[in-house]
Amino acid sequence: MLRRQIFDDTPVSKLATWSGRCGLFSLAVAALSVVILRSGLLDIGPALATFGAALVFAALAILLAFASFVTIWRQGLAGLGYSLLGACWLVRKCEGEVRDAAYRLIPYLSLGLLGFLFVVFAYALGEHLQVMGRWLERPYLFVFPWIGIMAAAVLAVSVKNRLDGPPFYMVTLIFIAAFGTLAISFWPYMIPFAITIEEAASPHSSLAFMFWGEGLFVFPLMLLYTAISLSVFRGKVRATAEHY
């Protein structure tokens, strides 16, 4: 009987791996220095030197951990959002163990994503005082964050009550609210307070070609293809004894 093999292709941070190794090595060196000092085999000088080496490796482990955190912060948070969307999609489409596993992951992924969005929003307000002034002068701009908060509340209720339909749509709404908040915070700038959208846009001839060539022909075909694909694969995936 054939047995399905699952290969874990999750990317691993090398900096985080070496941080753990240096931390464990520093503990071993520190323990060795304590043994040397307590046993009286050597003078206090070599014991202190060994303990100092342990502190050096511990500091190196902290630096590597911080570097790995920065790397994951810059490269891995996009995967956090996609993971949350994927988990909600599995809840919507699957049953049994896959659905249960996705339900268990959704709270952790949601907290991580919402925490990241809150930090980015607070950083934008603190770093760019013009953004803070814009939000204070126009309180109606808070409609986008409130939409995200309401969507997160509905997501929490639906996950708690095991409602398979709403989570995917609520996470999508959270993403829309997050991008809307980012857009209105820096509008009309493409690069914050440096280059506007009009200055960064392509020439009029290129935009006209994209609109008439792709917008009126290619884009509707893509929408039609997506609609047909969703209609073909609608409903939940259920285990059957037959093959196709």
**Same structural domain, 62 and 96:** no
DSSP state of 139: G
Q: Is the whole-model pTM more than 0.95?
A: no
Q: What does the alpha-carbon distance between residue 240 and residue 169 come to, in Å, rounded to a whole number?
A: 28
Is residue 241 situated within a structural domain?
no
- Which residue's entry shows tokens 């700038």? 189
- On whether both 114 and 48 belong to a single domain, the answer is no
Q: What is the pLDDT of residue 69?
A: 63
Highest mean pLDDT among 3-7, 57-61, 79-83: 57-61
Domain endpoint, select from 147, 162, 187: 187
Give the per-residue pLDDT at 85.
Answer: 85
Residue 233 lies in a domain: no
Give the pLDDT band (50/70/90) at residue 173.
Answer: very high
Pair (143, 84) in one structural domain: yes
Q: State both tokens at 163.
A: 């409602």
Whether residues 84 and 179 fall in one domain: yes
pLDDT in tens, 208-232: 888 887 778 888 888 898 888 888 8
- Confidence class of residue 76 from pLDDT cuts 50, 70 and 90? low
Are 19 and 107 part of one and the same domain? Answer: no
Q: Give the model's pLDDT for residue 202.
A: 79
- Mean pLDDT for the chain? 77
The answer on 171 and 100 residing in a single domain is yes
Q: Kindly state whether residue 161 falls inside one of the protein's structural domains.
A: yes
Residue 27's nearest CA partner among 46, 55, 49 is 55
Assigned domain for 148 exists: yes
Please state the φ and ψ torsions of residue 239, each to the nearest 5 degrees. Answer: -75, 130
d(CA 180, CA 79): 20
Could you tell me if 87 and 68 lie in one domain?
no
Q: Which of 167, 187, 207 is the last residue of a domain?
A: 187
Q: Are residues 49 and 88 in the same domain?
A: no
Residues 85 and 151 in one domain: yes
Same domain, yes or no: 106 and 56:
no
Classify 88 as helix, strand or coil: helix
Domain boundary among 171, 187, 203: 187
Domain residues for 64?
14-75
107 and 150 within one domain: yes
Please state the domain count of the chain: 2
Same domain, 105 and 176: yes
pLDDT score recorded for residue 170: 92
